[in-house]
Each structure stands twice: as structure tokens, then as C-alpha cells.
Amino acid sequence: MTRGCEVCDARRLALRLIMMGSRHGSPLNLIFDADDTLWDSNIHFLEAFDEFAVAVIDSGRPVDRTKVHAAVRRAELELIKTHGYGRRPYVIALHRAASELVPGDPYARLREEIERIGASLIDRHCELLPGVAATLTELAQRHKILMFTKGQRDEQMLKLERSGLAHLFSRVETPREKDEQAYRQLVLEAALDPDATYMIGNSPRSDINPAVRAGLRAVFIPHPQTWDLEEEEIVRVDGRVIEVSTFRRLLEVF
């Protein structure tokens, strides 16, 4: 069976489940990721890294883009353990990488440029992806809408407020990690029926696979700029994962 047929079969299964739920008068629980599902985000980090790499390489020390990327990644992964995900931790990672790659006076001269790059990253507006506002507005009329997204809570809440969509969500959670246990805890605390609950997002690692392992259903919406650390093979179990090409196509499923 081709992947396209699997997707079609999964959609048909989802529609049957939705119709069964509708007969009982119960709306579904639709849980949404935020970054790169509702609005662009990772592209901002990629562009900030590009500016940072140019600044470091132009500092005169013998470093190349590969070394710069490796240093930023090391600092980033260490900071995630203590600061979580977010734009402010990423700026700290840039400072740590620069001090490792070009210590002493070269780093001191780079500090102001890193602060400029960081301020632009933190303040940058996250544009809604096509169809998100209209689709969410319609879905919220017949289903329960929740948000479950990684990142520092103040950053994510500000992005949600700027989006104009905050009023549509009955619950917003910003866990440190979105692993299987985090999903099980959300189900328990929000009193969700797993069979009537869908996690919707662009990340196989954080949105799809742990939700499925926790007993939920999921909808995968690929994004071309998904963070590379969020990529992994999707776990497909008993038609619990649906894949759609665009956010608007959620209206064909729900």
C-alpha cells in the first residue's frame, strides 16, 4: 500500500470516529502545537544563526561555518537542560559559542553584535501560517481547542496574544518537554478522552510520536523549516496518525 493510500485510509477512519462522536453529542479535543504549526518560528533562528556565523567568521579567527554550528549546538543543548527552549536561551547560546570560538578581545568586540541579533530575534513578530486564523476559528465552534507547546511561557503567551487567537483556546500548557509522560499528565489534568483527542503539529519527535505512545491520535502537518532535532520517523499505529499537507485541510478531517 502506498503512503498516499495509508493517509486516505487514516482520514476515513478519523471521519468515522468523528461521526460516531457527533452522534453522542461530544466535541473532540484538538490540541495544537504553536511554533511552526500555527506560526513561523524556526526560520527566525536559522536567520539569526546566519548573521551570527558571518560575524564570527569575519572576526578574523580561523573558524568555518561547520565549527560555528557545532559550537552553537553544544551550547544550545546544554542550556535546554537548565533554561528550556526559547529565544532568550538561544541568545545565551550564541554568547557561549562566541566566547568558545573567539575568546578574549575578538569576543568582546562581538558582544554588541550578538546583542543586536538577539534583540531582533526576541522581538520578531511570528506571522501566522496560511489559513490558521480562519481554520481555528471554525474548528473552535464545534470542538474543544487546547495548546500544548514547548518554550518559555512568557514568550509563547506573548506570541499567542499577538496572534489574536488566544480567546479560542480553553487551555494553554508550556511543558519543559513534550514526551509521553507530559501527554499522559495533560490527559489526566484536563480530563481528556484519549480516543477523542488529537495532537496536531509539525514535529514527529514532540508532537506526533509521544502523543501516539500516550494513547492519543495525531495529525501531522509538515513544515519545510522544522528544527532538525525534531525530525524522526513517525510511529504509525492502527490509523492513529493522519497527515495533511496544509493547515486548512484540517477542516476536511474535523
In the listed set 107, 123, 139, which residue is the last one of a domain according to the structure? 123
**Three-class SS string for the chain?**
CCHHHHHHHHHHHHHHHHHHHHHCCCCCEEEECCECCCECCHHHHHHHHHHHHHHHHCCCCCCCHHHHHHHHHHHHHHHHHHHCCCHHHHHHHHHHHHHHHCCCHHHHHHHHHHHHHHHHHHHCCCCECCCHHHHHHHHCCCCEEEEECCCCHHHHHHHHHHHCCHHHCCEEECCCCCCHHHHHHHHHHCCCCHHHEEEEECCHHHHHHHHHHCCCEEEECCCCCCCHHHCCCCCCCCCCEEECCCHHHHHHHC
Same domain as 197, residue 144: yes
Q: CATH code at 117?
A: 1.10.150
Asked whether residue 3 carries a pLDDT value surpassing 50, the answer given is no
Q: Is the pLDDT of residue 4 over 80?
A: no
Residue 9 has pLDDT above 60, yes or no: no
Average pLDDT value for the chain: 90
pTM: 0.88
Number of domains within the chain: 2
**Per-residue pLDDT tens for 33-90?**
999 999 999 999 999 999 999 999 998 778 899 999 999 999 999 999 999 999 999 9
The verdict on 131 and 174 lying in the same domain is yes
Last residue within a domain, chosen from 95, 123, 151: 123
108, 123, 138 — which closes off a domain? Answer: 123
What pLDDT score was predicted for residue 12?
53
Look at residue 8 in the predicted model and tell me its pLDDT. Answer: 47
